[in-house]
Structure 1
């Protein structure tokens, strides 16, 4: 064998050393990247939990968690005691936001030649981190409260719209949902439809915060007793809070008081009687994260609201028009089954809305029971 045809030992050693150096260099670089990443995480964590400048951001994150089914996670952000204080503080503040006397008046009687707007108008709205819709209902007397038609189960708003012949609808009041999958059949507080008390679950309380309309189409929102609601001739109403606007002024001072970021639904009224529904999508990165209540309040004020109140939001938020879902509901289970919805009719006197809770004891309804097919 010709010795010159054999690989030179020095050349082989050089190649081996070069590979080892490259391998060591790669792991050194990887170690540096990992170390840098860990330092950044620790620094961010230190800032998030310890820096005074991060306090507002911490509470924003906590408030956002409080609006979800994962409320308990907020204790890892602000502590369990602070979480309880935060929830209590919001509850107290929301109660106070509902007590100022509402003195707004409306004029729904217009000369025939001035009536040029369609009954329902929908426009897109957007802001920092959120996308949504505003629906204007130019005649408030065309709105009725829709409820389910089967005992033991709520109903999707899209189904209510189709079943009742409505032209549009949005989700209404809240409901008990112990397992977060919601059969949607046990409302919170009261439900008033067509001037009658369909459901009363106040648990001995003498008043509740409601959102609704009287027989003339005037919006009623705030804290009232059942006797007061009767005297006010309230025709359609659900329990929910907080009231956002009263006598033309916003009640939420700034974004820090906006109760976190979430999908939102709210209802307001202009001085001419037109009803304003705001529907904001959320919990969908890349499309819409959500809005706080201050954002919603400002949208309503910009559209001329003189009174407004929050409705059930989160994964319940939905807007339906002409039998189609306009927005993008955030629920992982799809459109939710709900106990109430505000529906718009061309001919509301023809709407057939029976009391599905008649004869039932509200305190014996199993809110966690599986929906009936």
Structure 2
């Protein structure tokens, strides 16, 4: 009997032990959930306070305000310009764009008086007089950018390339290969509806081989050009068509702003540098050498981009006495020996463009037909391929 009773009690004890052990497990689970809830609450509170602090910094401090406008300026240079209104407001955006336009116009007004002293033999058709190579490439970098400086030691070897076929722009790499150029850099801007244009309709003025290939000034008396005259002197600034022709401009496009004139920089600081973006610019030293600055951008981990003040300082550091901005952004590209040296920011790769500055050993042998001959702006649909 005792044995049976003992066995019964032991059996009863074994049956009740799981119930007893479940209670501490539930308590531990509740404690873990409570701890996670507290941590999540702390994180949400921290994020909320950080957000409030960040907004306060952005809107109520000078440094924060500068940062907001830097972001807005950067967006203005992209296809998402309208997003800037969420940073600074629509009214401020419109005013910002107008202020930049007014400033760029002023930057083109001062008459350039720089002179160049070309080395003996520059422009010689044999191409043997110069000891320096015609084209030199250097890498450049800064806190937020990587890029290249291309030096063309004989400015008379540069021609303006245009597309081969009517109705469609052409990649710079294609222009270089087709024409037999040594190197090429993107040139002027173009009509680009919805940022999906075909790259065929230039903006403003295109001059190649001393002839006006395209003109769309829309009644304006003057335009800002970037180019070279027949003697290899760089021309940049705001001029009328009559002035441009009287100066003997041989290769040119419309673009802005001019950033250096008569040896001095026109942009005071980075705050006025028009945002961070891929950049292309052209400048000239006193010895006549033409310099092209090409900077990648919009690629975290590689190169975010540069503002125009950065570009100006690069040019000044390398001896530029005149310099001007060219079309940048997704158009920025540098081709040398049929190879694209930089990393264009466009998700579709190299863009189709209306113009490019090309470098030749024997430019006098190059024929660049006027693809816009007989076409006016009204005859071109910039959105139709």
Normalization by structure 1: what TM-score?
A: 0.96
Provide the rounded CA distance (Å) in 2 between the counterparts of 1:54 and 1:114. Answer: 55
Q: Which of 341, 352, 370 is matched with 1:326 structurally?
A: 341
The alignment of Structure 1 onto Structure 2 pairs a total of residues equal to: 370
CA displacement, residues 162-184 of structure 1 (integer Å, 9 cap, x when unaligned): 01100100000000101202200
Secondary structure of the residue that 1:20 maps to in structure 2? helix
| 2:297 is equivalent to residue 282 of structure 1 | yes
> Which residue in 2 is equivalent to 1:155?
170
> Which residue in 2 is equivalent to 1:43?
53
Cα offset, 1:332, TM superposition: 1.3
Structure whose alpha-carbon radius of gyration is higher: 2
Cα offset, 1:47, TM superposition: 1.9
> Which residue in 2 is equivalent to 1:293?
308
> Which residue in 2 is equivalent to 1:5?
14
> Which residue in 1 is equivalent to 2:364?
349
Q: Which of 73, 80, 92 is matched with 1:82 structurally?
A: 92
> Which residue in 2 is equivalent to 1:194?
209
Q: Which of 267, 270, 289 is matched with 2:285 structurally?
A: 270
| 2:322 is equivalent to residue 307 of structure 1 | yes
Work out whether residues 119 and 130 of structure 2, in 8 Å CA contact, stay in contact via their aligned partners in 1.
no
Provide the rounded CA distance (Å) in 2 between the counterparts of 1:263 and 1:10. Answer: 70
Work out whether residues 132 and 153 of structure 2, in 8 Å CA contact, stay in contact via their aligned partners in 1.
yes
> Which residue in 1 is equivalent to 2:67?
57
> Which residue in 2 is equivalent to 1:67?
77
| 2:273 is equivalent to residue 258 of structure 1 | yes
Provide the rounded CA distance (Å) in 1 between the counterparts of 2:108 and 2:233. Answer: 17
Root-mean-square deviation (CA, aligned residues, Å) is 1.4
Normalization by structure 2: what TM-score?
A: 0.93
Secondary structure of the residue that 2:194 maps to in structure 1? coil
Work out whether residues 279 and 293 of structure 2, in 8 Å CA contact, stay in contact via their aligned partners in 1.
yes
CA displacement, residues 328-359 of structure 1 (integer Å, 9 cap, x when unaligned): 00011211100000000111112121000001
CA distance change for structure 1 residues 288 and 81 in 2, over 3 Å: closer, same or farther?
Answer: same
Provide the rounded CA distance (Å) in 1 between the counterparts of 2:14 and 2:76. Answer: 77
Cα offset, 1:111, TM superposition: 5.9
